[in-house]
Structure 1
């Protein structure tokens, strides 16, 4: 028999960063894994996913918890569709209803934090970790209403850093956002590579123009912070800026083209949501 996360009668409350926020842990009755209807693997995956959702929920990692709830619900809905046992269908639907209710509560809580300007999510990238390409970090924040982006990064200087910025721009061009303007604030290359830096940025600027995107470039000798802001209110701060990938072993090595396969330096990513994104 497979059991889903245990129930608590009604919501309980936990303290998070000095605030009291609701954390309801939904219940489930044991469900059988047996049967010849081919639902065993789906049931196992669904149970493990919602179990992880509840664990993240209790740890106040609400954004990650919400993703797990949504994935778990989708798996359980597939089980309901494939199950012929009406009693079992009823139990699944009951649990799905409870998980959907909790997911909606989390959505409302996250939305309130966003409106209050208090949303904060932190991602720790370990040394040599892979799977952290730009899509992984930025895609979920690039909604269709994003039309303007600000990039503050002092290290868009050397060739590989210019390629980093180019790949980030490619992500913006692919959508689903409709970016029209990108503002880049960086610092000059202090060595002999300044002309190469300028020509590289101008080439990116011209290429973006072909896609209807304007790139505004500014330089500062005192810039230190690294952050990326979207005009939908999301702000992402990366300890190493866009340059958190390790140098590939060679031009024909795995990870040279696909950043998801490129080992990373250790760094921290902080995601915030503010009511208004400041202008440079």
Structure 2
């Protein structure tokens, strides 16, 4: 493997591991664990490619240090989950970017995830319906086998036909992917909450609608939500061993 390729892997690893340490120090342990694992894998790939023994030793020392910290975090997170005390908070600042659904939910999606509950009163207007489609697409691309998505929302009194037809179309499209959309309406729903059957509960102050409107259809961020500016909101993450009982 060419030296510049090894250098590229090392640069990527440094970037990911720097982010892991920042998240670790901020108490965002589940997210930091994902970054540690990605960074460690990049260092392992680089280790396989280098020839110099001195550099191999350097990589091994770094890998061991990060693996030890990742294991400590894993033990801590598992203990907190067992005790029902796990809580992380993410504050998304005004105009922040980098908070697509993939980026926000990645750390909490595991291979055992099969069922998702979304309670959000504002899946009504066109851009909110598109948000929910994006959320469903994120689940379909994730390393899990979601079979059921439950949506509890409120009806759009001004134009219920658009909302109904859009969700009916999405339901049929998800069915083609082997996923059932269970749709229910409530006139009293207020809170916003997303629950995964692997135990994670994510509460977002603004629900799925925390993105700002892009300047135009051909503006950066219109298609890629990682590049879209956000509205200020708070995300609270909890874990329970009995999600379905909630």
Q: TM-score, normalised by structure 2?
A: 0.84
| Distance in 1 of aligned mates of 2:155 and 2:128 | 13
Question: Displacement, 1:42?
Answer: 6.8
C-alpha spacing 1:106/1:202, structure 2 compared with 1 (3 Å): same
Conserved? CA contact 2:30–2:108, under 8 Å:
no
| Distance in 2 of aligned mates of 1:229 and 1:197 | 23
**Do structure 1's residue 268 and structure 2's residue 234 form an aligned pair?**
yes
Higher RCO structure, 1 or 2 (CA under 8 Å, sep 6+): 2
**Do structure 1's residue 171 and structure 2's residue 138 form an aligned pair?**
yes
Output the aligned Cα RMSD. Answer: 2.9
| Distance in 2 of aligned mates of 1:276 and 1:246 | 34
- Render the CA deviation track for 1:27-62: whole Å, top value 9, x for unaligned: xxxxxxxxx999778777767766665565455443
* SS of aligned partner of 1:96: helix
| Distance in 2 of aligned mates of 1:42 and 1:257 | 28
* SS of aligned partner of 1:177: coil
| Distance in 1 of aligned mates of 2:239 and 2:31 | 16
C-alpha spacing 1:168/1:127, structure 2 compared with 1 (3 Å): same
| Distance in 2 of aligned mates of 1:43 and 1:203 | 45
Conserved? CA contact 1:37–1:83, under 8 Å:
no
Structure 2 runs not aligned, ≥5 long: none
* SS of aligned partner of 1:144: coil
Which residues in structure 2 correspond to 1:146-161 (within 5 Å)? 146-161=113-128
Structure 1 runs not aligned, ≥5 long: 1-35
- Render the CA deviation track for 1:72-131: whole Å, top value 9, x for unaligned: 544554564555554554454344323322221211111121222222222211111122
* SS of aligned partner of 2:68: helix
C-alpha spacing 1:56/1:245, structure 2 compared with 1 (3 Å): closer
C-alpha spacing 1:271/1:82, structure 2 compared with 1 (3 Å): same
Which residues in structure 2 correspond to 1:115-126 (within 5 Å)? 115-126=82-93
Larger helix fraction of residues? 2
Q: Which residue does 1:131 correspond to in 2?
A: 98
